[in-house]
Structure 1
Amino acid sequence: MAQDENRPLRADARRNRARVLLAAEEVFAESGPSASTEEVARRAGVAIGTVFRHFPTKEDLVQAVFAERVQRLVDEAETLSTADDPAAAFFTFFTHLTELSVTKYAFADTLAAVGVDVTAVGRTHPQVVGRLHAAIDTLLTNAQRAGAVRADVRVPEVVTMMIGVSRAAEHAGSDRKLLTRVLTIIFDGLRPSDRS
C-alpha cells in the first residue's frame, strides 16, 4: 500500500513525490501504465528508491496518478460551480471530461490490461472520488435550477453518461465531428423537453 497520505511529509519529500507523480503521468501518457518504474525515476530526476519509498508497488503509483487526474477534475468542477452561467458550466465540464479521453492515453483500458483495478481508486482515495461526485452534483443542481437540465436527472446517471461518452470518445479517436454530434445528442436528451 502507498505511503500514508494522512502523515505530513517534509518539504523535500513532498517535492519529490510531486515530481514522481508528474513524471509518471508523462511516462504513462506516452507508453501506458506498463512503462517501467525506472523510466519514471529517470524522468523525475530521482533514484528508484525514492519512487518506491512513496509508492511501494507499481499499482500504488498507477493508482496515485489516476487519483491526481481525478483531483484535477474536482478542482475544475468546483471552480465551474461558481460560474455565472450554470448551464454553460455543466456542459463545459461534461465536454472537457470527454475531451480528456481523446487527448490522454486510454487510461482505464490500459490499467485493466496490466491488472490494475480502476475501482480500487475509490477505495484507496475515497475522499477525492467523493469530492468529484459532490462537485458534479453541484454543477447538475445549479444547471437544473437554471432550467437547463431535466429535473429527473441524478448524479449516478450523469456519471454513467460521462463514463459512456468517454469510452465513445476513445472509439471516435480523432473524428471530432463525430464526437461533437454524439455530445449534441446526449445534451439534447439532458435538456428539458419543453425547452423552447
Structure 2
Amino acid sequence: MTGHEGDTVRPRRRLRADAQRNEDRLLEAAAAAFTREGAGASVKDIARVAGVGVGTLYRRFPSKELLIEAVYRQEVQRLCEVAPHLTATQPPVEALRTWMELFIDFMAAKQGMADALAVVLTDESERLHTRGLLADAIAHLLAAAQAESSARPGVSAPDVLMALGGISLMASSEEQRDLATRLIDLLLHGIVTN
C-alpha cells in the first residue's frame, strides 16, 4: 500500500504505552480541530490541546496530511467497531439510530478534512474498501433488527449507507445538524416495521 507518491507505508509497529496515549490524545484533538476548523487547523493548537509538544506530533506525523489520514482511518475504525457494541447494549432499532448519528458526526469531521483527504486518499480501491467496511457495520445492525422483526427484510446496507451520505451532505450544506436527525428519523421510518 502506498501513501504519498513514492512512499511505502510500513506496517505499524506496536507503540509503548505512553507513546500510544500521546498518539490517542493527538488523534482525538486533531479530529475535533479538523471538524471545527477544517484542514487549516493549527498543528500547534492540536499539540497543545493534546498536551504534547509540536516535536512529538511531527515525530509521529511528519506532515499535516499524514495526521489527517490517521484521523480519518481511526474514525472509520471506531465507527465500524462500535456496531457490535451497540447491538449488545441497546435494542436493535436504537442501536441503528445511534450508529446513524455517529456516522453523521463522522461525515462532519470528514467534511472539515475533505480537501486534504482528496490529496491523501487518491486510491479508488481504498475508498471502496472503506465504503465496504461501513456497509458491513450497517449490515450487522440491520441483521440484529431483522432478527427480532423490527426491521424490514431485504433492506440493503449499501442503500442505507448511500442514504446516510445524502443526509450528511444536505445537513452540512444547510449547516443544520438537527436536520440530519430529522432525516434519520425519516430513513428509519422506511426501515423499521412498526
1:143 to 145, 160, 163: 145
Q: Following the alignment from structure 2 to structure 1, what is the Cα–Cα distance between the partners of residues 9 and 24?
A: 13
Unaligned runs of 5+ residues in structure 1 are: none
Which residue does 2:184 correspond to in 1?
183
The change in CA–CA distance for 1:13 and 1:129 in structure 2 (over 3 A counts) is farther
Q: 2:74 aligns with which of 68, 72, 78?
A: 68
Give the C-alpha shift of residue 31 in structure 1.
1.8
Aligned pairs for 1:1-196 (under 5 A) are 1=3, 4=10, 6-83=12-89, 85-98=91-104, 100=105, 106-114=108-116, 116-117=118-119, 123=126, 132-174=134-176, 176=178, 178-192=179-193
TM-score (norm 2): 0.75
**Partners of 1:115 and 1:123 in 2: CA distance:** 12
Structure 2: gaps spanning 5 or more residues? none
CA distance in 2, matches of 1:133, 1:91: 15
SS of structure 2 residue aligned to 1:148? coil
Report the identity percentage: 33
Q: Is the 8 A contact 2:34 2:113 kept in 1?
A: no
Q: How many residues align?
A: 186
Shift of 1:168: 2.3
Q: Assess if the C-alpha contact under 8 Å between 2:27 and 2:71 holds in 1.
A: yes
Name the structure where helix makes up a greater proportion of residues.
2
Q: 3-state SS of the aligned residue for 1:9? A: coil
SS at match of 1:33: helix
How far off its partner does 1:5 sit?
Answer: 5.5
Is contact 1:133-1:155 (8 Å) kept?
yes
Deviation at 1:85, TM superposition (A): 2.5
Let me know the Cα RMSD of the aligned residues. Answer: 3.2
